[in-house]
Structure 1
Amino acid sequence: MQTGRVGRSVRVGLDIGGTKTDAVAVTEGGEIIARSRRMSGYGDEAVVADVVESVQELCAELGISVSDVTSVGVGIPGLVDTVSGRVLHAVNLGVESLDLAGRSSALLGTPVIVENDVKAAALGAAALRGDAVSMAYLNLGTGVAAGIVIDGVIWRGSRGTAGEVGHISVDPNGRVCSCGQRGCIETLCGGGALARAWGRPGALPVRDIFDAADQGDSEALRLRADLARGAAAAVRVLVLSVDIETVVIGGGLTSLGDRLGDSIRSALIADATDSPFLRSLHLDERIELLPPGSPAAALGAALVGVHAPQEEIATHG
């Protein structure tokens, strides 16, 4: 990372998750010049402190003042009003209603822009790929959602719900989803839903499912197939509805690495066996996994500060 005084051309981006906060400082050209990580706090005061203290830590590392920071972008789960910067219902962070932009900006003395975490990650993933091809970022974590980037800009749809593929029902007789429907994609490949269906103790239930499937456990084999089937359905929905070129898969489940990627590709190939139309789309060749430890989400949050927020609410994934 670059150190020393870098001048007034720095943007900061933060990805605030339920367990950790990842922060980066980037130049106007999008180069990451500093990075810090910390455990995420719980509750309104702690979340505001995470923003302020992360910015201060990065500035100290770079030898600059907070006044040298052009903007601060924050990617956060929950319901995000991108105009007011207010966060609603970020349950894992203990936030019910927080004016995160207003309170953080007042303490830092620099503009703060707040964005939904998945949409911010989509923007960062697009920037890391370094091309202008249309793409979607599919987040496979506790829940399932996607962000769509076209020509370097987040595409939100008319009411900000573009990319909410997790709550598309693909099995009307399937498991009940938290949204009230049955058989949503999230019930098949969301980490939370899989852990509940597995029902066995363990720190990493989805990894346990894959390990048990490798040993021939019938329930694990069924759940592993569900995960691949659900993720493949999400990829199909994204490509067929928006005609994006590439689906970048990120989120906590990508820690499974090739075991996850290979299972999704196999499901896409199997689904296309009897469909010349699906075979013509080569969906298995159009997915890629975000590398472990990628700064995509924090980088995307920093880049959010380049654009003025639009007047709609971006929903949680």
Structure 2
Amino acid sequence: MPLYLGVDVGATWTRAVLVDGHANVINRLKIRTSKNPLADVAEAVAGWKFDSIGVGSIGPMDLRSGWVTNSPNSPARQFPLVEPLKKLGKPVVVANDCVAAVWGEYVFKHGVDNMVYLTLSTGVGVGAVVNGALLLGKDGNAHELGHAVIDFRAGRQCGCGGFGHFEAYIGGANVPKWFREVSGEAMADAAEVFRRYRAGDSKAVEFVNLWLDALAAGIATVVAAYDPELLIVGGSVALNNWDIIIPKLSPRLVKYLGVRPPQILQASFGDDEVAIGAAALAYKTPESLKKFGYPR
């Protein structure tokens, strides 16, 4: 039975799963993301048996070189994705983390020809399948709508250096700073903001309502770009606060959308979402990635 190694390189954690062709997880690992995360993975899985490798990584990236080129949230802005894995002697396929996630949902779960995956985590990322094709762009960054400008007048700076970006408002890493700007109070992290919201804290309630408005504006931008019939939402901020987000999102979307809204569903694979999606890239490599010379 063929087995596939799927690797998820996140800003904080790097995960790997060993799966079969039905997305059943045989083995998994989780390590802190370092400046050369794929070298760490290659060492950690050296004893595992598998047929090919897929990698879903934070970006932006250059698919031709197989490098991440300018990641705003990771320990190293630049690092290799392909070269460190060559010692394992198996074919390698790489893509952006959200691109991997949407492909996993497409291959293993939903099979909907027009669908988008949106992650709300440390940052904000997007992956899209349009008319059955996985979108990549000239370098593999066709999905970077976390850096779409949702407020051109804003002084809020994103981790990438740009201003007014979707991620600058919604990304978990930026929530404490924005909360302090709005409320005048310091907050440890996004989780604390949502805990205080649930406790009825007035400043947290005011802020989360503002955050939800920004989320709706960003999602409307994503929907306008790709016109999906299905929007899959994942990432720690979304998964931990689904009960808050979903009831309050749809009424806000009406304000911004000019097209028919998609169905919105929670990500299918939890913390393994990107890793299983990466395995799907290895299991069924999309034609758009083959044009970049993958598998390698």
Fold agreement, TM-score > 0.5: yes
Normalising by structure 1, we get a TM-score of 0.77
Do residues 11 (structure 1) and 13 (structure 2) align? no
Find the partner of 1:232 among 193, 198, 216: 216
Question: Residue 125 of structure 1 contacts residue 300 of structure 1 at CA under 8 Å; is this kept in 2?
Answer: yes
- Partner of residue 49, structure 1: 40
Distance 1:31 1:184, change over 3 A: closer
| Preserved contact between residue 189 and residue 226 of structure 1 (Cα < 8 Å) | no
Q: 1-side partners of 2:105 and 2:187: how far apart?
A: 33
Change (3 A) 1:225 1:201: closer
1:22 equivalent among 12, 15, 18: 15
Letter aligned with residue 300 of structure 1? G
Q: 1:194 aligns with which of 156, 167, 175?
A: 175
Alpha-carbon distance between aligned partners in 2 of 1:174 and 1:16, rounded to the nearest angstrom: 30
User: In 2 relative to 1, CA 169–157 (structure 1 residues): closer, same or farther, beyond 3 Å?
Assistant: same
Seen in structure 2, the aligned counterparts of structure 1 residues 170 and 38 have a Cα distance that, compared at 3 Å, is closer
Name the CA distance, whole Å, in 2 between partners of 1:51 and 1:153. Answer: 30
Alignment gaps of 5+ in structure 2: 181-185
Distance change in 2, residues 1:123/1:52 (3 Å): farther
2:187–2:193: 8 Å Cα contact kept in structure 1? no
Task: Answer with 214-223 or 76-85: which moved more.
Answer: 214-223
Shift in Å at residue 247 of structure 1?
A: 1.0
Deviation at 1:31, TM superposition (A): 3.2
Gaps of 5+ in 1: 1-5, 60-65, 313-317
Is residue 2:234 matched to residue 1:265? no
Q: What is the SS of the residue equivalent to 1:295?
A: helix
**Residue correspondence of structure 1 range 105-120 to structure 2 within 5 A:** 105=86, 107-120=87-100
| C-alpha distance in 2 between matches for 1:310 and 1:222 | 48
Aligned 8 A contact 2:112 2:132 in 1: yes
Whether the aligned pair in 1 keeps the contact of 2:149 and 2:166 (CA below 8 Å) is yes
- How much has 1:30 moved relative to structure 2? 3.8
Deviations 1:19-78 (A, max 9, x none): 333222233x3432413122224222x541223423x35x3xxxxxx4xx3311111213
The amino acid that maps onto 2:276 is: L
Residue 114 of structure 1 aligns to a residue whose secondary structure is strand
1:70 aligns with 2:58: no
Aligned equivalents of 1:158, 1:292: Cα separation in 2: 29
User: SS at 2:51's partner residue?
Assistant: strand
- Tell me if structure 1 keeps the 8 A contact 2:98–2:127: yes
Structure exhibiting the larger radius of gyration computed from Cα positions: 1
Q: Deviations over 1:285-310 (max 9, x none)?
A: 62122257342211111122242444
Counterpart mapping for 1:34-45 below 5 A? 34-44=26-36
Q: Report how far residue 210 of structure 1 moved.
A: 2.6
CA RMSD of aligned residues (A): 2.8
1:213 paired with 2:190, answer no
Aligned length: 282
Q: What SS is found at the alignment partner of 1:191?
A: coil
Deviation at 1:88, TM superposition (A): 2.8
Matched, 1:183 2:164: yes
The one-letter code matched in structure 1 to 2:102 is: A
